[in-house]
Amino acid sequence: MKYKIITLLLFVFTVSSLSQQKSNPKLVVGIVVDQMRYDYLEKFYDDFGENGFKRLINGGTNFTNCKINYIPTVTGAGHASIYTGTVPYFHGIVANNWKERKTFENVNCVTAISTTNKMYVEGISKTLSPEQLFSTTIGDQIRLSNNGNSKVVSISIKDRGAILPAGQAANAAYWYDDQNGKFITSFHYMKRLPQWMIDFNNSGIAKSYLNNKWNLYKSLKVYKDLPEDNSPYESDVFNEGKTSFPHTFKNLNDKQKYAKLSHTPWGNQILVDLAKEVLKNENLGKGKYLDHLAISFSSPDKIGHDYGVLSYEVKDTYLRLDDQIAELLSMLDEQVGKGNYILFLTADHGGMENTSRLKNMHFNTGVLESTNYYDNLVGFLSEKYCSDSLIAARFSRNLYLNYNVIKKLKLDPAEVEATIKDYLLNNIPSITEVFTRNELEEMTASRNTNNYILNGFNNKRSGDILFSLKTNYLNYEKKYGTQHGSRHSYDNHIPLIFYGKSIPKSVRNEEVFIEDIAATVCDLISVTQPSDCIGIPLLKK
């Protein structure tokens, strides 16, 4: 009798363990669509098929009010915030580029800090790495959870779109080299490309897409809700003497063709092609341990910058991306199995309407640099302090003080900051908010929208005076297409959909934030949140 009880208990324990093991997802997939405004899901919904965006929206949890709560809303900061679950104040990626505070030289968000003496190896970058990122990522935490047995791979067209989601401990981050149409990686992750990637690069797939003509994907009536196709607000990307459909590569030289491939929907397609190879050759989702695949579609950002948010090209890109996502989901179903993976889809930022179009529609719009504000500011400081060198550098909405000059003139830095703040607020109508380093260092970022500038500030990298602009105003002239970077809804309202194993079918409209993504994913897979995560889990297990 005792033996039967023990046997029964062992059987129950085994079944319970297997059931528990079976309930865990085998793969986490993150999809970031670069420059995707939330309203695209609604505007284009009726023209989508059933197996792409609609499958995610109707089969998962759609958060309709997800916001970015810092500025600037740009690619580097967005990808870092999504995967670290925090804001630039903590993760350090304050923009795509910033000024080094001692030398005032430009720093790229994925510039390698450590040096390498390794010989040149084709496909391996010696200059780019994730070292600028202060915080761990979802992938880092997955790898830490099982002593590095999980596989983590990140792919994108842009280097920052691949490297920042990958984090420090990933197996690989691959991005597109627009000089030759091949994918490359960083010395940080490996010494040489795997053979399957070499084969993929040598297959001629990128070159094959250069023979394609970019025609409208669907019938002309689908696009009639948009303004004219041949628009004065669009750039002539392909040297065709027009901006309307169709588009071809025939007027470009070979080097230009590879660079402009990513400015077409084929940039998205080649990423789907690569995802298929990654899934197959790395056996993602088929092993004992949970794996992670991060995909960032960069081409929508490039196309948006070229043509603008109301263009035929942008809508056509999303109609094609809809089917490309359907293709990706089909791959996941086949490779991992329905119900064996979880997926999220979001964006790193949105995009603003073209300022020239807005002006012609009688909106209050403008460009800060066209007001000569900086020269006027320097003139004011020169008159007040007898020096035109108090500001050492500037980028975006940051001004860096020259502390050597301030010290030499025996000035109080806080007083100089306050003087500049007062001048900007009272003399530059397009500037709405100004914070000084002295003020910001007395505060701490948080999960709210109380202070977008504070959340986007980092004391090691940001300037000494930071400001924001009025609605529909830009820092620099953007004659064609769109731009982004502000705290306004066209830039900070992004899609957020969770889909897959144990994700309920629902629509949620409470305000949530970009940093909640990592917190939610890690909670769903029972992994410790990234090191500086300030987000909260949005779904119950």
> What span, in angstroms and rounded, lies between the C-alpha atoms of 144 and 123?
27
Three-state DSSP at 427 gives helix
> What span, in angstroms and rounded, lies between the C-alpha atoms of 359 and 369?
17
> What span, in angstroms and rounded, lies between the C-alpha atoms of 377 and 358?
28
Report yes or no: 407 and 389 within 8 Å, Cβ to Cβ.
no
Cβ partners under 8 Å of residue 410, min gap 6: none
> What span, in angstroms and rounded, lies between the C-alpha atoms of 104 and 154?
31
> What span, in angstroms and rounded, lies between the C-alpha atoms of 174 and 282?
13
Cβ partners under 8 Å of residue 386, min gap 6: 409
Of 80, 218, 199, residue with least CA distance to 136: 80
Phi and psi, residue 465, nearest 5°: -130, 125
Sign of the CA dihedral with 66 first, then 351, 182, and 120 last: negative
Distance of CA 189 to the CA centre of its chain: 21
DSSP 60-96: SEEEEEEE--SS---HHHHHHHHHHSS-HHHH---SS
> What span, in angstroms and rounded, lies between the C-alpha atoms of 372 and 369?
6
Report yes or no: 318 and 304 within 8 Å, Cβ to Cβ.
no
Q: Which residues are catalytic?
A: 75
Query: What residues does 400 pair with on adjacent strands?
Result: 393
> What span, in angstroms and rounded, lies between the C-alpha atoms of 275 and 269?
10
Q: What six digits make up the tokens of 64?
A: 């309709």
Of 165, 135, 408, 180, residue with least CA distance to 295: 165
Q: Please, what's the b/e burial string for 38-54 (b: 16 or more CB within 10 A of its CB; e: otherwise)? A: bebbebbeeebeeebbb
Report yes or no: 343 and 138 within 8 Å, Cβ to Cβ.
no
Cβ partners under 8 Å of residue 46, min gap 6: none
Query: What residues does 76 pair with on adjacent strands?
Result: none
Three-state DSSP at 416 gives helix
